[in-house]
Every structure is written in C-alpha cells, then in structure tokens.
Chain A
C-alpha cells in the first residue's frame, strides 16, 4: 500500500524510523518492529546508510520487513549512487513491491565512518523526485521508454521547519512539490510555535506534512544536537526539564513526556507524526498512548 492513500483518507499518518545494522543480523530489528511498532505506526522508514555510516542496505531491509507483514518506506539518498544506480534501485523497489519512497539529498560523506569515500551527488533531492516521476510516466531521465507498465510510488521528502533559514527551506520545499513530492516528513521539532508558523506557510502547497520527532534521550544528546545537527534546536527550558529526569533516575521518561506533549500541541496543524527513536523503539507505544493516539485498526 502507498501511504498517500492514508493521507487521502484523512488518516493521521504515523511512521517510525528504523536503521539497518552494520551487518546482516536483522532479528533484533524485526523483533522490535513486531513488538512495538506493528500496531502503533502505519509504516516504517528504513534509513539509507544513515549519517553516512555504512550499513546493510535500505532496499533489502525494506523487503525483509515487507515479508514480515510490515509496510516499509525506502529511503534513498543521492550521496552514494549516480543517476543510473538510483533509477535502477527505484525500479528494483517496484519489482519487490516496495511502494513508498523518501527521497533525500543525503549527508556529506565526511560526516560518516568512511570520510575517504567519493561523494556522488549526481542528482539531488529535487531532481531525484523528478526522476521517479519520470519513471512513473514511463521514461527514464534520459528519455528512454521503460518496458511494460510503469511503477507507481508514494513520493516523500523532508523539510526543516525549525531551520534558522526557514525561508530558504520553504523555497526548496516548493521546488520539491513542483517536482512531484506527495508528502513530507520534517526534521526533529522541539519548538511547537516555530512548527505551527511554518505550517501556516507550508499549507499553500497542499501537500501533507508529518511532524518529525527525535526522542530527546538526555541532556548530552540535546546539547550535541544543538551544536551539530542542522535544523534542530532544543530550547533551554526543555534542557532544564530533562535535567530533572536524571535526578529522579526516571530513565528517559521526561523525553517520552516531551514527545507526547509536542504531538498534542502540533497535532491539529499537521497530517501525521514521524518518530525518529534512535534505538528507543520500545518507548514509542508510551509516547503515542500519552499523546492520546490509539493503536492502529488493522
């Protein structure tokens, strides 16, 4: 199923991110997905060598999840493949019945564990969306016809609502919509006012947006994100709030509460939530319970 169908039915679309390991042991990932995510989110994003760290591939992991009865979203970045490989992987996804895509430019190579690698960026997020749309129309980027029935996907992309240059981000968002993007997931949001203001401007594009959440595990992680992660800013009072967590040794409960609160505050302004738990999949059911979001009717 394409998740665009859910948006069309006015469902509040819930997704969570899972990262393949460096290695082929997927048992843990599959077990967590069944235990914590299957009845709580509609689809699972599978990251593509996230943060430029080499891991098992997103497409293969998507296929494994699909065989497990879960709905995967294939994340594709432009960092490691040129347009030939990208289009080929998109067709491979169609072959394997993977119908949901999230199309990204990708982090730079030097940020990851193979800083020596050649950065590709032959295409970028906008031209990749365009390339997928062309394939859906029956042609590749070079204008050659694709044999047989063309594939059909739900084409997604990302945007940073809390970026310090949100006007530049909105311009890029518009380009993505024009290229054929059908839904957005956002970078992690900690400032509901900024998000709501962003949504007021983004509304004009008429494309559904899922609020992105990164579970704030502890103070150190928030400080790190503030210094290093683009488009993410954890306000001081939230960091204070998290400090209390450690005192009471509540082991992450505050982060969970914060996420639930963010959902409650932003829910009416967006069309879904995307949770990046960074290994804390087991906390996702609590977050959704606290936010008053019921399990998914299957």
Chain B
C-alpha cells in the first residue's frame, strides 16, 4: 500500500505511524477542508507533497502549489471568506513573505475555518534564520495553537477549525522542525464529506479594509482576541499536569523534554502545558504563579511565554520567582534537547546531572578531528557544471549574488559562487544594488521555482532601472531542495494535471530583458564558458540586464527516471595511464563521486555514486576521464 492509499483510508480508529506533516495532511481530510494553497518550504514540505498526491483522488477538494506564500495566503484566505474551510502552509520565513495579507486577513476575518500552518526551524536545519512566528500571532492579533508532537498536530488542527469558525478568525498552527519531522503512532478519525459548492456573499464594508472599514475592524479584532482568551483559559489544550514543589510552564516540543527530564531525574513538579500560545491563558498562568514560589519556563527561541508570565505576575501582584532565559538558565538560540532541560534543572536545584556529560565532553576532546561532511550539490547536479563555467569565465573575480535553493550550497569550496543572500528572489535585487555601487561584474543565480516565486519583480526592476547584471536561471525543472514540487514552469499542477508550463525565456523577454539565452550545461563546457563571457561583454556594452537560462533536470529526477526505465549507462572511469594526478577534477569540480585513490595518487570515480553527467570529462586537462564503450 502506498503512503497516499494509507492516508486516504476511511478506517476510523486505525493506528498508523506518521510523520507530523503526514498527520496534518490526513487532518485536512478529517476536518473537511475544501482548499489548501502553499509554497513548499522545509520543514513543512511533506504536508503539500502528500496533499498533492491525495488531491486527484478526492472529491470537492482543491490543492495548489501557489507561486509564493503571499499568493497562497490570498488564495486560501479568499476561499475561507467565501465559506469553504481552507489552509495555507509555509515555513517561518514564508510567513514573512505572506505577512502583508496575513495582517489584513485578521482584520476582515473569515466565514469558514482557516488554518495557517507555519513551521519554524529552531537550529536552522534548513532555514536562513530562526523565525519565532509566535510574535506574528501577537503582532497580527491572530490566535495560535502549538502542538508538541505529531499526535497533537492532528488533534489541534481539528480544534483550530472549530475555534476559527467560532471566532470568525484564521488560526495559526505553529510547529517546529522537531514536530514536523517526528514520526509517531497516529489514530485515524472519521472523514466527513466536503461541501460541494459555496457561494461568495458580498459584504464589502467588512471585506474591503479601506481606512474607514479597517478602523472599525481593528476594535472588532481586539474583541475577538478577548473571546479567544476565554477559550484559552477554558480549553483543554492548556492543561495542568502532575504536582510538586515548583511550577513549570512549557509549550511545543519542549514539553516532551520536560516530561523526560522530570522522569529521568525523579523530580516532581506541576506542569502547565500551553497548547494555545496566543492569547496565553492568563487565568491559568495566574493560578500556577500563585501556587508556587518558583516557576520555570521551558520554551525554545525567544522568551515569549516567559515575558507573558512576568507580565501577569506584575499585573496580579504575585511575588514569585520566574526562572528562564532572562537569568541564562536556558539559551535563546537553537532547538532544545532533554539535556538542556536536565542541565537547567541541575543548576536550579543544585543537583547532579543524570549523565556525566563532563566525562563525555572530555572523551570528545580526545577524538581525532573528523573530516566535515556538509550538504553538497549531488553527483550529476547540473548546477555544478554551470557554476564551474561561471567561475572559469569570470576567473572567480565577479560578485555572485545567490538565492534560496540547492544552489546556495555552491557557497562551499571550490565553487564558491554564493556571496550574498537575504531571502527568496534577493539574487536579482542584491545584484542590482551591487552593480550600482561597484565596478565589478555581477553574476547572480536563481532557481526556476524561486524565479517564479520572487524573482519576477526584481527582474522588472533591473530592466526598468537598467541595472547591468547577469542573471543565470538554474532551471532544473523542479523545486528540488524541498522535495521536487512542481512550479509554474513545470507544467504540472498541484491537482496532478498537465498544463502548459510558463516559458522562462519568454517571461524574461516579456519583462523587457533584451539578452536572453537558453543553454544546456551538459552540452559543452567550452561553449558554456564562452557563452558566459559573451553575456558579460554584452552587459558591459549595453549597461542593461541579461539572462541566461541553464536548463537540465535535477540529478535526482534523472536518476529516478533512469531507474524507472531500467537504463544502465556505461560507467565513467579515470584512465590511470593518462591521469597525471593533477587533481584539477577534485580541486575545482569537487564531485562527491570522485576521490583520490591513495594507492595510485590518481583520481578515481565511485561507480555507485556517479550519476553519469560527464562534466568531469570536460574538466580533465589531459583527457584521462572516459566513458566505457
């Protein structure tokens, strides 16, 4: 049975091992959600991947990979205003992209339930910053639920829809990487029917927040937040557990670490577990503060609950010691672990650690230095060939603005073609700024999905303001980094339908780019280098932007296709006689499938890893790399 079949099964009571993201996709069915729109982003990606696979099998259900998060928020928001339950999904930085509609949506509210799933990434496993999206809930006046594990993720999703409809407000469901990417046993609920059609009922003096309308909606929103506070104070999502000499307030994944630490260290404490983190349950917090002399706050990232607890203690004039980040018991950076919680308890209570971590630290110091193994462009990745050519053509001297995607990995030596990065689409716009204040050549790179997500306004800007920049679109025909989702260029929709894909070359021409050229990075390295030089010459002469589209499918797609067709290309090898051991291939191309044979001192190819792109053949100065006949 495939994963999709499993997720679609109408078998209430059945227990299945699911990733939280899969559980949320399942929860979409169980909550009768009619529309989901999103732009993929790790750690939330698998929600969309699974929904896309499920969508063609479902009636009265629509799923789309929107072109970016702002678009997704608007599509899903409008559906909920029309009276159909909807969902928008993003990662932390994705909510920043969608922040504009997010704030208006809270003002106008919704008619059917709407949930915005935002996946934060403490420790930045796959993100450019450690967004703490709880502050969006606070600033945008939008209620927020925060599950601790995959089981709660699905349960809270159902609650979020119920509350959302009660308050006519969208609800945030905030997860973190350690929730999204945890698997746990999930029990299925019923799958209700989804409404066939809904119709939009006009109410412009609610749904069009011109200043006169918005002025009335802001007090309404604050009233709704007060109602949400009542829910927060009575909801079983915020609950007391156990008893002991001191109190603990915790939320999200940290709750598990608290349970594990208390159990391991045999400590008794009363826990207030916060599942609804905005608005916080003031009454429940007040109760706990009043019952204990000491309160410990355990939460990842910024002191959100801690600040609220201190606020409530002050307002209620409760004399209580609140221990948390402000006294350095807990860090404000990176994700927590049970060890962090146990160490904090040890410090606060003057107790010994349950494990001798100092001893482990000492042993670690004795270990040899291990070679690092950072993430890399895969063997056979078309980006490696393109970047090799860019570096060769510019002798490494140009400035290389980068963007969000696999290709940011080109930051590593020897490619080193990522010099500046802010966010999605910033390759184009940062290139504009650099080109205006320096005399250096600027070669920016952007992926195909990112091009559609956030690149277009930057290109319009570059054309209109005549910025002399080179933009290389690394078109690998997919959104590779987040798990191969389609985008407007691929010609596949979230519903699994084939449609005409948007042509990047024509889009650029339409935006007024006068120099546009499409190349295949695997055709000829010499030609590719010459093409890049020619483009740079044109830019210098014309003082205007130029675009090169380097088009070849993602190596993982190529490999999967090959396996499906049971194709076995002849392997590449290094001819030992010819190889001079110059290591140019190893030092300049750094394909993970190539290594130095320490016995012969010559380059070698690991046949299990090679993906048959053949770029190394062009890179070898003596023609020692060949493909078997």
Partners in one complex: no
Which residues of A are interface residues toward B (Cβ below 8 A)?
Answer: none
